[in-house]
Copies of this chain bind each other. A is one copy, B any other.
Amino acid sequence: MIDFARGFMPALDAATATVRQTGNLDGAKVGIALTLEPKTACLAEAVASLGAEVSVFGSGHSTKTEVVDALTEEGIAVFAETGADRVRVDLLRDRFIDVGNQYLCDDGASITRRLHRDRRDALKHLKGVAEETTSGVRPLRVMEQNGVLEVPCIAVNDARSKVLFDNVYGTGQSVVMAVLDATNMQMSGASVVVVGYGKVGRGIAAAARGLGGRVTVTEIDPVAALRAHHDGFEVAPVADAIGQADFVITATGIAHTLTAEHVAKMREGTVIAVGGAGPPEFDPSIGPPLSGGDTVRPNVRAWRTPGGTTVFVVADGYCANTTAGEGNPIEIMDLSLALQLRALDHLAGNDLPVGVHLLPDEIDDEVAASQLAASGLVIDIPSQEQAEATRSW
C-alpha cells in the first residue's frame, strides 16, 4: 500500500529531487510525528532516502502494523504499535523524544509542547519544527506571543498549497466517507449539522451537499456564518439544529465543542462524528453512560442517553477520517507531504529566528506547480504588458 500510494505522489517526488540537490537533510536527525499510515510512511522513506536519520512516532488508534513493519525493515526507527494503550503510547512517545531529533514534523504541536514543558533535555537538540495542522499552529502562535517558544517553527499548515487543499478537499471527502462507510447510510435526503465553518467544516459541508445532504452550519463567527448562509446552507445555533439531525459532525478544532447537554437533545438514531484533528472536541461531560455503549458496527458505538434515545458515535469521537478511514486521500497528502519535506529543508538550510514562520511563497508555488505539471495541466505566463500593469499605479 505504501508503493501504491507512492505511485500517485508526484509533488513529493519533485520535492525529494529538489532537496537532494540542497543536501540540507543529509545526516540530519529528523523525527516524524504524524498519523502513521501508508502515505506518511512515504514521507519517512523520502527523508531517509536523502541521507537523514529518521525516527517515527504514531499514536495507537491509527497505527497500521504493516506500515510499522515496512518502515522498520528499511532501517527507520518506529515508535508506534497498533492498538497500543495510553500508557504504552506515552512510553513510545518518550522513547521517540529520547532520540533527540534536530528537526521535527509535528501534528497538533503535541511533541513541541511536550518538549517545551517537560523535556527540555531533548528541546536543546531541536533546531526547527514543521507543523502540519491548524490545531498545532494555534498553540504555537500563543506560545510565541507569550514568549515561551524557543525554536523556529514553520506553519506548514498555513501554506496555500496545504490549507486550501488538505483541509477543504481532503478532509471534507474523507470525513464524510468515513461516516457513511461506518454506518452504511445514505447521504441524499439526510439532514447534516456541521459544527464550525472553518476550512474543514467547509469541506465537510460541501462534500455532504455534493452527495445530496441538507446541511445546517453552526458558527460562533458572524462572517463565517454569513459565508455559510451565502453558500446556500442553513445557519442555526447548535442547540436548535441538532434536534432534527441525521448526522452531527463537529469540525471546530476546539475542545468542549459537543457536550452531554447537546447529545440529550438529539433524536433517535442520530449519528455523531468528529472531523477536527486537534484536541478532543467532546466535552468531558460526555462520559459514562454516554461513552460506554455497545459496538453495533465496526467503528460505531450505540450510546443510550438518559432520556432513553439511542445515538450512534463514529470512532469514539476521534477524528473520523484517520480512525475509521485511511485519512486524507493520496493526492492531497502528496501536496502536504511535499510541503513538509520542503519545510524541513528550509529549516535546515536557513538560520531562521525563533518564531512561527510561513513557508516562502516560492516554495508554496513550486509544490503546487509540481502537482499541476504531473496532472498535465498548463498555466499561462503573464505577458510583459500584463506584468508591467501589475507593477504600476
- The count of identical subunits is 4
Decide: A329 and B372 in contact? CB cutoff 8 A: no
Q: Per-residue 0/1 for A199-242: is the Cβ within 8 Å of any B Cβ (1 yes, 0 no)?
A: 00000000101111110001111110111011111111111100
CB within 8 Å of B: which of A147-175? Answer: 148, 160-161, 164-165, 168-170, 173
A259 to chain B, nearest CB (A): 8
A169 to B213, CA, bound (A): 11
B-side contacts of A380, CB under 8 Å: 218-220, 237-239
Decide: B212 and A230 in contact? CB cutoff 8 A: yes
Q: Is A277 an interface residue (CB 8 A)?
A: no
B-side contacts of A220, CB under 8 Å: 379-382, 386
A364 to B227, CA, bound (A): 13
A213 to B229, CA, bound (A): 9
Select one of B38, B138, B186, B377 contacting A169, CB under 8 A: B186
CB within 8 Å of B: which of A277-332? Answer: 279, 283, 296-297, 300, 312, 325-326, 328-332
B-side contacts of A391, CB under 8 Å: 142
Q: Is A369 an interface residue (CB 8 A)?
A: yes
A357 to B8, CA, bound (A): 44
Q: Is A40 an interface residue (CB 8 A)?
A: no
B-side contacts of A17, CB under 8 Å: none
A76 to chain B, nearest CB (A): 21
Decide: B371 and A226 in contact? CB cutoff 8 A: yes
- Given known pairs A255-B389, A296-B1, the reply for A165 and B233 (CB within 8 Å) is no
Q: Per-residue 0/1 for A99-136: is the Cβ within 8 Å of any B Cβ (1 yes, 0 no)?
A: 00000000001000100000000000000000000000
B-side contacts of A300, CB under 8 Å: 4
Select one of B7, B222, B368, B392 contacting A225, CB under 8 A: B368
Decide: A3 and B382 in contact? CB cutoff 8 A: no
Q: Per-residue 0/1 for A373-393: is the Cβ within 8 Å of any B Cβ (1 yes, 0 no)?
A: 001111111110110011111
Decide: A372 and B186 in contact? CB cutoff 8 A: no
Decide: B237 and A368 in contact? CB cutoff 8 A: no
Sample (21) of A-B pairs whose CB atoms are under 8 Å apart: A3-B296, A146-B393, A169-B186, A169-B189, A169-B230, A173-B186, A181-B181, A186-B331, A220-B381, A220-B382, A221-B379, A229-B375, A235-B377, A235-B378, A236-B377, A239-B380, A254-B386, A255-B385, A255-B386, A257-B386, A283-B385
A binding-site residues for B, Cβ under 8 Å = 1, 3-5, 7-8, 38-39, 109, 113, 138-140, 142-143, 146, 148, 160-161, 164-165, 168-170, 173, 177, 180-181, 183-190, 207, 209-214, 218-223, 225-227, 229-240, 244, 252, 254-257, 259, 269, 279, 283, 296-297, 300, 312, 325-326, 328-332, 335, 364-366, 368-369, 371-372, 375-383, 385-386, 389-393
New A-B pairs, 15, CB < 8 Å, besides A160-B223, A186-B328, A255-B386: A38-B184, A138-B390, A142-B393, A177-B181, A180-B329, A185-B331, A187-B329, A207-B211, A212-B231, A222-B372, A226-B371, A237-B378, A254-B382, A255-B385, A259-B383
